[in-house]
Amino acid sequence: MAKRQIILDTETTGINPQDGHRIVEIGCVEMFNRRLTGNNFHMYLNPDRFMDQEVINIHGITNEFVADKPRFRDIAQQFFQYIQGAELVIHNAAFDVGFINHEFNLLNPPLPPVHSICTVLDTLAMARDLHPGQKNNLDALCRRYDVNNSHRTFHGALLDAEILADVYLAMTGGQVSLNLASHQDNAEQQQQQVQGLIRRGALRIVSASASELEAHEKRLDLVQKKGGSCLWRS
């Protein structure tokens, strides 16, 4: 059955939505049957609150930059329809889902919670199962799975979602190829090789000469003398 996945990340004004913190960036990468489609969703948002320099240093999004951006309520329906019915792949899912649910609940009327419209796969929980006792943040996973994140200066939602997509594919066995022409070419090549062997007929058996057998016996004598035994002699 075809599977639609959305690799998702958010950037926020702080840690806890219950303290009034809001989402300032949403980044989503769509994957269909483990292949990236290019149908991504990316929005910067005005959180209607001031951000401290400490959090700006993390994601690089300034108060001035988001001043003219849309509010979450302006893009809520578009975002809701985009993720509906998909499996969300999120690193530390409780954080992002908590913020999204908080934003949904602030709407009038509110939208239903994420788990009622999507399934959620937490790659942090998956990584902890695969690598217990090790660092399992996104940077550590990039090093472990040889995913290039050298272009990651700040924690950007869309960039982190793109990196997480590569990490997720590596964690779950790599990308599955859907290139049917390639599979057909390989099958035809294998069939031609088999037919070629059949056309050659039976292989000719070449027996050792008397001198070759004598030399072989001398070699076995030397092996037995040096090693005390010889596996090739009963």
How do residues 161-204 score in pLDDT, each as one tens digit?
999 999 999 999 955 434 444 344 445 545 554 454 444 455 45
Mean pLDDT (whole number) for 213-222: 60
From the list 42, 91, 115, 155, the catalytic residue is 155
Buried b (16+ CB within 10 A) or exposed e, 123-132: bbebbeeeee
Number of H helices and E strands in the chain, helices first, is 9, 6
Helix (H, G, I), strand (E, B) or coil at 43: strand
Whether the pTM exceeds 0.75: the reply is: no
Q: Residues of the chain with pLDDT > 90: what percent?
A: 68
Q: How many CB atoms lie within 10 A of CB 109?
A: 4
> What pLDDT shows up at residue 68?
98
155 is a catalytic site residue: yes
> Is the per-residue pLDDT at 229 higher than 50?
no
Q: How far is CA 107 from CA 98, 100, 113, 116, in A?
A: 15, 11, 12, 17
